[in-house]
Structure 1
């Protein structure tokens, strides 16, 4: 070994030996002077206390603090001067290890290099008046010169906590922070303006309540991570640099600022969670907020950030500002599932500055909200939810979708949609009850084009339908409707006054005013209105769409409709009418008819009445006025009114009539003939009876040389009383081209026909030249008179025979 190496090695060994000798000497010195040093340390630490610090025992721990001296203190207790009043001990530590500067000990000064606290409880207590037991620490008087130049303030270089119960209990501010610290290690560096600390923490948060009346944030969550903290003595500000902190299983980026220069320490905490599940984030908040937020859920993680600003005094809740970024997620709400959901969400509990940090001054804003409900895409530029005590939501809802997708949303019990496109733009304002929009007020438009739709309860089908709904503040305008059902085409415009108020509160009071136009209308295609409603299937009552579907169904059935029709041509079975005008009133009870007028050829018909829906059979009462109606066409149009003997083929002329008829009509539009009841007054002008077999069968014997195929009437009038299948013919005189007759009796549409017919054999042509009406009337029954009786035959047809009973009566 070279000579210089040997010399260097000897010097190093000598220095190590010297240090060991000094360290052992110091250890022996400390051990020999434990009581004196304990008193010195206690006195030094009590210099800056308004209270007391007591130490149970002290022992040196030689190698832990090497090359300094480490002292283990047992049962260290710090109490403020008012401990007897509030009984909250600031510090109770079973193990308190202090490492001091060796050289400073030799000069009689204490410079604390490290403090380690284990198995301890730290309780920072503030009573309801604002007094805190931290008053035990005196604030440094910067203006007062140091009087004791032989000693310095104790400076802490390192510290650690292990198994420490740390509590901040502020009764005045209703705040409680409670942490069970498993481990905390920190390094301190000092400068002229303050200090800097590097910390590493692992703790269980038992309570982090900014307002104990609302509960704790991050309750029972483990917090683990490093911190870098700076303190400026001039400003009294503590800065916590942003760093990653794990809360539970989720990583957060945390930064904070605490201003201790204020009477109540102000703080700002900046929290960022770039990827956290909604439920995990909700479970970190106070119970009153968590309960509400867990009514919602997002399937994929979100990017969330939160800034808390408040003070440790009696200021109540901190100001909370939360921002969340959601992209292409699945949102679950109490009433719906939103796919492809994206938005930027903002929450604040200080919406209007100066009005307090309360639920009433809280707001939620959702920007550029987009999603799809049952495959129907929609967007809302800005959703505003104000006043979380009584939440009110506002926004502009926009959507464009295939109407067939509505089937999945609202069910098919009431309306079933086929093809077609809907475009929606609605401004809405609504209360929020149980996190659902409640009775929203909407303005805007809904436009549907080229749609196929079925109204299921009435089995009505429409194709190529178009509709435009315009919601105003008070009324609903329904414009540009085009309905096509089979061959019928209908154009409609409507209005409902006070629509939304009545829709939510009294749907039975809704009155829809319709103006309806049609080039052609086939009434048979709308017989569903006569049919009893099909019951809604109860299997889907508990489905997510049942509430809306039932509301719509309830609206259709309970609302009233006032219809004003103008139809160019109307068809019903064989009936064809033109220039139809009608006022119809539809309600849950049935249909009211007023001012109905129809032209048929050169004649016209006017009708009013009502139809009461009672099930498969519907009761009706109709008043009808016929003016110059072609009787042949009229009988043909209405299937001869159920008669089989007298049909349209046997009639000719123009009918004038007034009638009141009631009865039953099936949901298929068929008359129940035995239910009819009413009166018919008629006047037939230029009439003729053509090839009527009952007359021909008698006339071919009684009047062989007269034209029985074409019996003409100059004027024929009479009155019929209808009672079920029986039609009572009031005594009626018939003056025809071949004979005169008096008729009275009962005609039955089934069985029971009994009509007395008195026929004089005198040829009416013999009296054709008589102009005096009285003389002509006196002559009409002169000569031989046949007394005939029309009754039912065995084959069901009417038979004519001599009325023998009439002869006996005479």
Structure 2
């Protein structure tokens, strides 16, 4: 071995031996003078404290810290001078291990190899006045006139370890609470000229991470695991946490941060990124007030999110929060339903308007390029905003184009059912959100439906090739360019509902639709469904007890009212044909009110007003009608002879005017219920003729063999009928004709019970045509022989003519003379 190498080894060995001896001496000294050393350390440290530091015991640990000088402090406690008031101990450590570099001590510097703290509680407390127990550490007075001592050294920590340490920052003034349960933290420190660097691995349970204790904790009861690389620049007083992977619960995030210590309490910026996280996992990391809202939604597959937090550890209130999210071809569940194939870019910020605070009132959610399918209906919302989470309001523009049959699952098939056609929607909306569901939206825009086949199920009505244009203007709904076709009927409609949106959500039964309807032709038989009583289903309620969209729409259809103003060129009903028809109708809850009906028919006109009450399969009606100068034959033909069997449209000619006030019942097929009509009818027949009326002809065979009874004409005939079920009571009336005169009174029955008395003088009316004076003509009308005939029921169902033997005798002498000549 070379001599020089021997010398080096000897010197090195000597130094090591010297260090070992020194450590042994120090350790032995401490071991035999523990109380003295403990008192010295305690006394010295308490000089710089506004409070007390107590150490229960001290032990040297030679082998654990070799070649450094190491000791273990047990039961270390630090209390500030106001501890008795707030009872928060700054430090309470069962064991505090310190290892110091012995060689550095010899050079006059303190180089801490390692500090280990185990089974400890660190509690940084600030009360509501701003006083903190960190005031236990005295601030070192600064003398601006004294030059800086560059020869002095500071203690440098190389390694540290925390085991089972509870760390708390409880700021009652700022309403902040940070509590961590450090299960295992290992770190090392480097000290470049610019400051220091720290590299650590942690395993820490978050018990509270509350920027505002009134709203709760972020990441509560989540385990944090992973490495951190931290750098401090002494010139800028900036702590930078390099972005790194950190496990939070079951998810891994990339987290970076900055802490600015230049101005009092640190300002911070924290950046959090996760490219693949489930919605529920992300929601459960946030404060309860946010989590509660987010849990009303769900996104099936993982999404990409970023979160930036900017704030200060001083003062109250939340930090600035800025979150982004990207959703691609996902399934989103909302309180209003499920959205498939959903994609959007989302942004959340609690600073919508600068200067209005960082809070829920000033928060906003922005959704860009939001598109998806709701119950197979595709839609797009270019930009949607939801601002003010305390009283949230949603705005946006909704667009969609789809086959209208896809509406059936959305609106339910209790009122409307579409089988063909397309729909185009473009609606701008603004609406408050209640439980994140649109409530009473203000809409503007249009809904256009083209070439649609639709059935209105409550009335069993079917329309084809239907076109509808809906326009929302504020709370009102305008319905334009509507074309309805059912069978041979076509109608063009314009409608309006005032205050539609308010009523739809609060009182759909109060909705009133006003229609202006024009039609080239209507076949009433195709609308007999309106005679059916509307089906009234019980409101459909969700599990939460709220009435759903189906129920709202059904209630609007079932209980709402419709006011119809019709102008129809031609109206058909069975044999009935009318032209130039006008009418005002009100369709209400199981009733139809008819007003101002005017039509041209059979060369004359008809006016009508009334009401129909719908009761199951039978409907009651009240009808007031006026008939002016209609062709009698055509009129009777159109109404199927009004149920008369022995008297048809072929037996009567002339021009009829009449008034009727009747009540009755009609079934759902539009047929009058037998024996249901009651009321009074008065009539006047001008230029009338009775043609081939068999009851008169049967009498004439033997009473008037030489008169033409096939065509009996009369210039003016008036009468009144009282209708009581199947009985028509004919009030006494005079019939004056070219062939004979007669007085008629009695009962005509549509079934059985006909009993009509006819008084027919044999005197030929032609003999009286030369008498100009009407009074004189009336006196001679019943002179001579008078036949008293009774028309009754025959066995074959036809009217039977016989002598009226039991008729009451008249008191007038002229009548008695006539009777004696029979």
Shared fold (TM-score, shorter chain, > 0.5): yes
CA distance in 2, matches of 1:143, 1:33: 41
- The answer as to 2:70 corresponding to 1:74 is no
The residue number in structure 2 matching 1:436 is: 437
TM-score by length of 1: 0.93
The residue number in structure 1 matching 2:819 is: none
Q: Is the 8 A contact 2:540 2:551 kept in 1?
A: no
User: 2:65 aligns to what SS in structure 1?
Assistant: coil
Q: Is the 8 A contact 1:30 1:37 kept in 2?
A: no
CA distance in 2, matches of 1:700, 1:28: 160
How far the C-alpha of 1:512 sits from its partner, in A, is 2.2
Q: Is the 8 A contact 1:330 1:337 kept in 2?
A: yes
How far the C-alpha of 1:146 sits from its partner, in A, is 8.0
The residue number in structure 2 matching 1:362 is: 363
Q: Is the 8 A contact 2:516 2:566 kept in 1?
A: yes
The residue number in structure 2 matching 1:454 is: 455
The residue number in structure 1 matching 2:130 is: 130
Matches within 5 A, 1:144-163: 152-163=153-164
Matches within 5 A, 1:56-71: 56-71=56-71
How far the C-alpha of 1:310 sits from its partner, in A, is 2.0
How far the C-alpha of 1:505 sits from its partner, in A, is 3.8
User: 1:418 aligns to what SS in structure 2?
Assistant: strand
Q: Is the 8 A contact 1:168 1:177 kept in 2?
A: yes
How far the C-alpha of 1:11 sits from its partner, in A, is 8.1
Matches within 5 A, 1:559-708: 559-588=560-589, 590-708=591-709
The residue number in structure 2 matching 1:349 is: 350
Deviations 1:176-219 (A, max 9, x none): 11111111111111234421111111111111111122211111
Deviations 1:267-322 (A, max 9, x none): 22221222111111111112222222211111111111222222222322222222
- The answer as to 2:92 corresponding to 1:102 is no
How far the C-alpha of 1:674 sits from its partner, in A, is 2.0
Q: Is the 8 A contact 1:302 1:326 kept in 2?
A: yes
Deviations 1:702-725 (A, max 9, x none): 233333333333332212122222
The residue number in structure 2 matching 1:409 is: 410
- The answer as to 2:736 corresponding to 1:740 is no
User: 2:156 aligns to what SS in structure 1?
Assistant: coil
The residue number in structure 1 matching 2:248 is: 247
The residue number in structure 1 matching 2:27 is: 31
How far the C-alpha of 1:101 sits from its partner, in A, is 1.6
Change in Cα spacing, 1:749 to 1:78, as seen in structure 2 (3 Å) is same
Change in Cα spacing, 1:427 to 1:641, as seen in structure 2 (3 Å) is same
CA distance in 1, matches of 2:475, 2:87: 66
Deviates more, 1:263-272 or 1:407-416: 263-272
CA distance in 1, matches of 2:339, 2:538: 26
- The answer as to 2:493 corresponding to 1:492 is yes
How far the C-alpha of 1:542 sits from its partner, in A, is 6.0
User: 1:675 aligns to what SS in structure 2?
Assistant: coil
User: 1:88 aligns to what SS in structure 2?
Assistant: coil
Deviations 1:448-482 (A, max 9, x none): 11111112111111111111111112422110001
CA distance in 2, matches of 1:551, 1:774: 72
Which sections of structure 1, spanning at least 5 residues, go unmatched?
none
How far the C-alpha of 1:71 sits from its partner, in A, is 3.1
User: 1:223 aligns to what SS in structure 2?
Assistant: strand
Deviates more, 1:424-433 or 1:25-34: 25-34
Change in Cα spacing, 1:546 to 1:79, as seen in structure 2 (3 Å) is closer
The residue number in structure 1 matching 2:170 is: 169
The residue number in structure 2 matching 1:549 is: 550
Matches within 5 A, 1:98-497: 98-107=98-107, 109-138=109-138, 141=142, 152-497=153-498
User: 1:701 aligns to what SS in structure 2?
Assistant: helix
The residue number in structure 1 matching 2:820 is: none
How far the C-alpha of 1:546 sits from its partner, in A, is 6.0
CA distance in 1, matches of 2:4, 2:733: 156
Deviates more, 1:334-343 or 1:243-252: 334-343
Change in Cα spacing, 1:452 to 1:441, as seen in structure 2 (3 Å) is same
Q: Is the 8 A contact 2:657 2:683 kept in 1?
A: yes
How far the C-alpha of 1:511 sits from its partner, in A, is 2.9
How far the C-alpha of 1:489 sits from its partner, in A, is 0.6
Deviations 1:232-288 (A, max 9, x none): 333332221111111001011111122233333222222122211111111111222
Deviates more, 1:398-407 or 1:262-271: 262-271
CA distance in 2, matches of 1:556, 1:538: 13
How far the C-alpha of 1:81 sits from its partner, in A, is 4.3
Deviates more, 1:309-318 or 1:521-530: 309-318
Deviations 1:60-110 (A, max 9, x none): 434443443433333333334443443322222222222212212334543
Q: Is the 8 A contact 1:41 1:110 kept in 2?
A: no
How far the C-alpha of 1:541 sits from its partner, in A, is 7.0
Deviations 1:749-803 (A, max 9, x none): 1222111001122333344444443343333323322110011123332211110
Deviations 1:726-748 (A, max 9, x none): 21111111123332211111111
Deviates more, 1:483-492 or 1:587-596: 587-596
Change in Cα spacing, 1:654 to 1:9, as seen in structure 2 (3 Å) is farther
Deviates more, 1:590-599 or 1:61-70: 61-70
CA distance in 1, matches of 2:507, 2:574: 38
The residue number in structure 2 matching 1:83 is: 83
CA distance in 2, matches of 1:267, 1:51: 30
Q: Is the 8 A contact 1:621 1:662 kept in 2?
A: yes
CA distance in 2, matches of 1:689, 1:542: 72
User: 1:338 aligns to what SS in structure 2?
Assistant: strand
Change in Cα spacing, 1:632 to 1:21, as seen in structure 2 (3 Å) is same
Deviates more, 1:502-511 or 1:570-579: 502-511
TM-score by length of 2: 0.92
User: 1:805 aligns to what SS in structure 2?
Assistant: coil
Q: Is the 8 A contact 2:347 2:365 kept in 1?
A: yes
Q: Is the 8 A contact 1:264 1:312 kept in 2?
A: yes
Aligned residue pairs: how many?
806
Q: Is the 8 A contact 2:713 2:737 kept in 1?
A: yes
Q: Is the 8 A contact 1:369 1:380 kept in 2?
A: yes
CA distance in 1, matches of 2:701, 2:547: 73
Say what the alpha-carbon RMSD is for the aligned residues: 2.7
How far the C-alpha of 1:143 sits from its partner, in A, is 5.1
Q: Is the 8 A contact 1:757 1:788 kept in 2?
A: yes
Deviates more, 1:540-549 or 1:381-390: 540-549
Change in Cα spacing, 1:180 to 1:538, as seen in structure 2 (3 Å) is same
Deviations 1:505-542 (A, max 9, x none): 44444332211011110111111222112242778876
How far the C-alpha of 1:16 sits from its partner, in A, is 7.6
CA distance in 1, matches of 2:559, 2:506: 12
Change in Cα spacing, 1:146 to 1:160, as seen in structure 2 (3 Å) is farther
CA distance in 2, matches of 1:87, 1:683: 109
CA distance in 2, matches of 1:723, 1:511: 37
Change in Cα spacing, 1:8 to 1:71, as seen in structure 2 (3 Å) is farther
